């Protein structure tokens, strides 16, 4: 067994033990370097999660009006294109991004996983268009509006799909975004009305009391009135 494989195996065993023995309110995201060369990058992702994980999950839940369902998420840190993974395999996070792009990408890929709640999608609205109904508000909740604006601009130059999806989402306005989000929730069996995609000023005008928002499987509603932040 090579030294790199020994290091990764050791980290995997340690992470598995921590996931099994540590009771934490937020989900565990376990960052595993693909090789010794990605150790520092994995530590950076881990530091971001330790500092902001609670706020990231709270923002995702608040803006979507859905609970974050996964208790443990595995993330492989490698010099390759990031992706959200699948139910039976880990996310992949690019090692060479700077810290700000690491932070935004971590939320981006967790956002994709969070949207696995949805078995039904809006006609003509692809995966990134769906995510972008709420992603910039999640970024802003955690790191501020300037961060969100920079990352919209940054993602928009990745390729045409990202550019077109962001242009579409930004063209809608918050009321239209919120209407589409609630249509998506209803398609997937969520009752009530979600004000999550609204910005703070619009929410302050419209949110006067906690709505009756329930999941179809009778789990407790998740709601944080944006206007009270």
Looking at residue 27, its pLDDT comes to 82
What phi and psi values does residue 62 have, to the nearest 5 degrees? Answer: -65, -45
C-alpha span between 63 and 142 (Å, rounded): 12
Looking at residue 110, its pLDDT comes to 97
Looking at residue 117, its pLDDT comes to 87
Sign of the CA dihedral with 80 first, then 83, 89, and 95 last:
positive
Average pLDDT, the chain: 82
Looking at residue 221, its pLDDT comes to 35
Look at residue 209 and tell me whether its pLDDT is greater than 80. Answer: no
Give residue 201's pLDDT band: very low, low, confident or very high (50, 70, 90).
low
**167 and 156 Cβ atoms separated by less than 8 Å:** yes
pLDDT digit string (tens) for 52-105? 999 999 999 999 999 998 999 999 999 999 999 988 889 999 999 999 999 999
What phi and psi values does residue 73 have, to the nearest 5 degrees? Answer: -125, 130
Q: Which residue has the higher pLDDT, 109 or 11?
A: 109
- Looking up tokens 């077109």 gives 164
Look at residue 226 and tell me whether its pLDDT is greater than 50. Answer: no
What are the sequence ranges of the domains in the chain? 3-228
Q: For 133-136, which contacts have Cβ atoms below 8 Å and span 24 or more sequence positions?
A: 133/169, 133/172, 133/177, 133/180, 133/181, 133/197, 134/63, 134/64, 134/177, 134/181, 134/196, 134/197, 135/107, 135/108, 135/111, 136/169
Looking at residue 224, its pLDDT comes to 32
| Average pLDDT of the residues in 27-46 | 96
Look at residue 25 and tell me whether its pLDDT is greater than 70. Answer: no
Q: What is 3-228's CATH number, 3.10.560, 3.30.2010, 1.10.390, 1.10.10? A: 1.10.390
Determine what percent of the chain is predicted with pLDDT higher than 70: 75
């Amino acid at each position: 067994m090579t030294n790199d494989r020994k290091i990764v195996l050791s980290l995997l065993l340690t992470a598995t033990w921590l996931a099994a023995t540590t009771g934490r309110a937020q989900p565990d995201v376990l960052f595993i370097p693909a090789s010794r060369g990605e150790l520092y990058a994995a530590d950076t992702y881990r530091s971001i999660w330790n500092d902001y994980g609670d706020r990231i999950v709270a923002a995702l839940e608040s803006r979507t009006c859905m609970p974050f369902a996964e208790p443990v998420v595995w993330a492989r840190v490698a010099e390759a294109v990031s992706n959200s993974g699948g139910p039976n395999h880990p996310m992949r996070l690019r090692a060479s991004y700077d810290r700000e792009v690491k932070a935004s990408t971590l939320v981006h890929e967790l956002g994709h996983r969070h949207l696995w709640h949805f078995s039904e999608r809006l006609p003509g609205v692809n995966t990134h268009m769906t995510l972008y109904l709420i992603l910039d508000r999640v970024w802003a909740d955690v790191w501020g509006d300037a961060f969100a604006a920079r990352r919209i601009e940054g993602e928009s130059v990745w390729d045409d799909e990202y550019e077109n999806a962001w242009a579409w989402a930004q063209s809608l306005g918050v009321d239209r975004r919120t209407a589409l989000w609630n249509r998506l929730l209803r398609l997937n069996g969520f009752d009530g009305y979600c004000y999550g995609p609204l910005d703070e000023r619009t929410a302050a005008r419209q949110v006067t009391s906690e709505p009756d928002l329930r999941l179809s499987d009778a789990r407790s509603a998740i709601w944080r009135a944006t206007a009270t932040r």
